[in-house]
Amino acid sequence: LDKDDIFFLCENELAFNKASSVFRDFGTNERTLYDFFRSLLRDDTKNIESLEEKITDAEDALITGAINECASDIVEFRRELLRLRKYYEQLDSIFDELQENDNRLLSDEGIRYFAILGSRTDKLLAGAVTLREYVAQVREAYQAQIDITQNNLMKVFTVVTTVFLPLTLIA
């Protein structure tokens, strides 16, 4: 990005098509860059809400006793939320750099655009961090369910041992 030009380098055709769809209504460079980042963040709130529903469903399944299915889901949720956290942190860093405007490429209106995106990214990052904490709580509940199952098994072994202990003593 400079005063006259803006370049986007795309690593594959999917990225090129996405960028091309954003650049149909080409305005100023700063507005184009804003539109590009805004399109990247467009459905992220829905995605985080969808992920939250999946985590809640996994928690419900855990409570109802479907323990076997939850372990892989919890690991997958943690990976996805870690990926999202890193993604939003990188975007937030980009928006902070653009708002600083050290090279004076952006107008005051452009800085305001990126402040809006930075605020939106902060909210998405906070949502991802909150969901990560929620997954940690679900993991603790999963571990508690496993502990309960093991305790019940130990009760059965204790009863069996108690029944056969006198016979062992006599023998």
User: Is the separation of the CB atoms in 103 and 1 below 8 Å?
Assistant: no
Angle between helices 108-170 and 29-41 (to 10 degrees): 20
pLDDT at 165: 81
CA geometry: angle at 77 spanning 73 and 94, to 5°? 165
pLDDT of residue 119: 94
Q: Which of 48, 46, 70 is nearest to 58 (CA)?
A: 70
36 near 19, Cβ under 8 Å?
yes
Instruction: Give the residue-averaged pLDDT of 67-89.
Output: 88
- The confidence score (pLDDT) of residue 27 equals 73
pLDDT of amino acid 67: 65
The pTM score is 0.77
- Burial group, residue 90, by CB count within 10 angstroms (0-12, 13-18, 19+): exposed
For 38-47, letters b (16+ CB in 10 Å) and e give eeeeeebeee
User: Is residue 2 pLDDT above 80, yes or no?
Assistant: no
| Nearest-angstrom CA–CA distance, 26 and 113 | 16
Write the single-letter amino acid at 123.
K
Q: Which amino acid is at 53?
A: E
pLDDT beyond 70 at 69: no
| Cα–Cα distance measured from residue 89 to residue 50, given in angstroms and rounded to the nearest whole number | 20
Two structure tokens written together for 69 = 């299915």
Give helix then strand counts, H and E, for the chain. Answer: 5, 0
